[in-house]
Structure formats: C-alpha cells, structure tokens
Structure 1
Amino acid sequence: MPVHARPIAMLETALLRRSIDTAAARRESCRHCHRTPLVGERVHFYDAGEGSELVCDLCRPQRDAAPRHSALMHAPEHERAVRVLRTAA
C-alpha cells in the first residue's frame, strides 16, 4: 500500500463515522426498545415532560395510559413522514 493511501483511508473512515452518527441522531426510535419503526407501522405518542415520547406498536402494551395520538410511520422521503419536532427550551 502506498504511503499516501493510509491518510486517505483514515479520512474516509472519519467521514463515514460522522455521516452515520448524523443519520442516527435524526432518526426517530421507540422509547422502550430503541428500534426504528418500520414504514407503515403504527406509532403512538405519549406526553412526557416538555415534549412527547414515541412508542412503537410492539411496545404499546407496556404503557397503561392511553396515547395522546397515534400515526402511521411514513418513509423519510415522504413529505408527511412522522417526525418529532423538538422545541428549544
């Protein structure tokens, strides 16, 4: 391997890690199992302090209270994709 190839490989690895971390931070996941809900899966929103908690359909029986509302999960490309909007305090 040429000497200059190693820094390039390290740069590629660093960029890939940053990209994965950014994508993981933007996706919504279940409060209990931390699984990303599938497209078409019903998700439930519960009141939680300052915002709301997303709970997948599989973890719904773990909650005693009724959800504030429920919605279908859409693909991220869909303009009506379920996204939790976080407001600054």
Structure 2
Amino acid sequence: MFLVKENINMVRLDSISKSFGGKTVVKNVSLEIETGELFTLLGRSGCGKTTLLRMIAGFETPDSGTIAIEGQDVGSLPVEQRPVGLIFQNYAL
C-alpha cells in the first residue's frame, strides 16, 4: 500500500535510459516530481515522452536507471501493483 509521506518525492527518476533495436529513445533522464506539483512533458513527436511514461507505469522496462514512486523503488513491481494511472490519447478497446 502506498501512503503519501511528507518530504518524499512523488516520482523520482535516476538516469533512466531505453533503446529499441539499437536506437536510443530515452537517454539518461533524471527528474523529481514533488507531491502536488503540476508537471508536463513537452517535445516533438518521437522524442521519448510516451516511452518515459510507459516506463513509469511499468509497461516498459528501462535499460538502466531507477524509478521510485513515493520513495519506493518500483522496478520490480508488476504493472497492476504500481500506483500509476495512464490514459493514452489514442486507444483501442
């Protein structure tokens, strides 16, 4: 169970990288999102925004780096146990 704790980053990425077929799509990204902070990812098509979100949600595994949510490393947590929701712009039922 995840409980909001004082002074702990809601989301923390440390040196996250991901490649597909030898092409690096996310390279060494580190960031911290504080509790209650409004955060947005902006960039051109194909720059890695969706891949980064998919890694946070657990749909993709980073090649390197760590992801922590509320201070807990979620690298080994299955998708259904991560306290993350993700809605895609286009979806299929």
Structure 2 length normalisation: TM-score? 0.23
**Structure of larger gyration radius:** 1
Structure 1 length normalisation: TM-score? 0.24
In terms of fraction of residues, the more strand-rich structure is 2
